[in-house]
Chain A
Amino acid sequence: MTRTEERLADALQAAANTIRLGALRPLTPHDPERLRGERRTRRGHRGLLAPIGAAIAVSVVAAVSVAIAGHGRHAPTVPLPVGLPRYYVVLHDNPPGARSPGEVIEVRDTATGRVRDTLALTVRLGDHSYNGNSGSLAAAGQRTFFVWYEVLRPGPHAQAGTRLYRFRLTRSGHITAFAPVASIASAPWDIIAIAASRDGGKVALTLGWSGVGRRPQPAIMVVNTATGSRALWRGAFQDPARTTLGSPSWARDGRTLGFQVFASKHNVLTTEVRTLATSTPGRGLADSHLVMRKSGDHGPSGAVISPDGATFTALILRTSEFKPQQTPSPAPTSANGIRLLPPPRIQQVVWVVQFSAANGRQLRVLYQQGPGDGDGGELRADSSGHLLLNSGHEFGWIDGGRLHWLPYGSDLVDFGW
């Protein structure tokens, strides 16, 4: 077992011993035929379809996921600024009440927070059927969105591939024209994050190692959505195993791409914000422009480039952990002898700051929150720079130094507008 495998097995065992039964979800066995939209034919496997232990184990993780993701508050009724996107789109993982397991796209009204339309990614398109593993959503110009996920092709040895899909919103917020755009990254690549240009003509993907095949250098791929052609910029990092690329975002010109590099050395994290001129395809990431570099915990967790490319808006999180004040003595123990300790309380302060793309100098603070409960966050912007923030426990749009809450349901995977 690798170190990761050992830690995973230990954490799952401990989680299963500490989970509250009341937090478990109803048993939701996975029916492969239903998942594929086919009639049940493989009766020989039915005995394995819903082992109670498997369902409980999956439910344990799902319940933890729900606890981490949290739920949004109700949207207050406020006049919307001119130009604010009328709809926002969220990608859910296994939402309660879904007819089949899998990710679901949900369109909500920014003014009211109400759901306008939903689409399960398990929808079958031609010969391809859903195989899961999605994780990213990208917006292009408020009404066009992209999402990727793995698909199965038919045949005795069903092959998996990753496809990029596009959909559009009607004026009334309904999903239309959901269709594949291109086949994209496969082993040894794994998609970390995606971003679409304002006109939807290009989609950028930050790529890491999939765990299959020889480890490549982290890279950025740009897909031309009209032709399906792809261009790749490889990194030349000293330690690719401890380097990750993220936060892709496009300037309005459709040529300048902002992105981040997260690199760890001797347990010290270095965060960089960079820009890449994609009009010179095929060159390495070493040719990208360094905007800022921070070491330690003060670097941005996310950063989006402004439409004119002159500034970046960054999400900075400072997290504190508070150990439990009182540990029962003797500490309670689980059935297999593991001592059960209350988890530390995590609090964080959230800043959204704007800084210069020319020299990395901080220009102004757009929003500050906390300290409050939370552990993590993400920042998105539409093609005009309107900000959408998930701070771990609150979700909404930022304007005038305030966060305007929006509801988002549960099990949030990604979001955009």
Chain B
Amino acid sequence: MQRRRRVARRLGGAREVAPAAAASAESEVLLAEDRRQVIAALAGLPRRRREVLVLRYYLGLSEAEIAAVLGVSTGTVKSTAARGLAALARTLGEEE
């Protein structure tokens, strides 16, 4: 939901994140906002893409493991992850 809205606002809203080691209060607020944007963008993805990205980038499962968990082929995992990342990059206004 709200994909277009996010696209509209966040294509121009990508921010650089300050290194954690030198985090000031301001940069930490920016970091929190950056994470909020990423999570909001993730929440806007279709369920299957969201699941694949969470399993891949939070749990660190391999494509074969994700395929087994979700009951799909590794090719589907690969294409779903790529589509999910492309959609995230588009929403967050990033170059791949």
Contact = CB atoms under 8 A, between A and B. Distances in A.
A131 B48 contact: yes
A210 B8 contact: no
A179 interface: no
Chain B interface size range: 35 or more
Contacts of B18: none
Contact of B85 (A2, A193, A341): A2
A210 B39 CA distance: 20
Interface string A93-126: 1100000011100000000000000000000000
A127 interface: no
Interface stretch (A221-229, A260-268, A285-293, A399-407): A260-268
A197 interface: no
Interface residues of A, number: 99
A413 interface: yes
B47 A101 contact: yes
Contacts of A103: 46-47
B96 A4 contact: yes
Specify which of B17, B20, B58 lies most central, judged by the most chain A CB atoms within 10 Å of its CB.
B58
B93 to A, nearest CB: 5
Contact of B9 (A14, A30, A131, A301): A301
A2 B6 CA distance: 21
Given A30-B51, A264-B93, A378-B2, A12 B70 contact: no
A248 B50 CA distance: 25
A190 B75 CA distance: 16
Contacts of B57: 5, 8-9, 12
Contacts of B48: 131-133, 150
B38 A413 contact: no
B22 interface: no
A169 interface: no
B72 A210 contact: no
Contacts of A7: 17, 34-35, 38, 92
B1 to A, nearest CB: 5
A6 to B, nearest CB: 9
B76 A93 contact: no
A197 B38 CA distance: 34
Nearest to B58: A12
A11 B70 CA distance: 23
Interface stretch (A138-146, A305-313, A315-323, A356-364): A315-323
B9 A376 contact: yes
A366 interface: no
Interface stretch (A47-55, A72-80, A81-89): A47-55
B76 A131 contact: yes
A299 to B, nearest CB: 7
The 8 closest A-B pairs by CB, nearest first: A32-B71, A132-B48, A211-B86, A269-B12, A211-B82, A11-B38, A264-B11, A376-B2
Given A32-B70, A93-B47, A414-B1, 15 more contacts: A5-B85, A7-B92, A11-B36, A53-B59, A64-B40, A150-B48, A157-B73, A208-B86, A260-B4, A269-B13, A339-B23, A341-B28, A344-B33, A412-B1, A413-B1
9 contacts: A2-B96, A9-B57, A10-B17, A51-B69, A60-B54, A133-B83, A241-B96, A264-B12, A267-B13
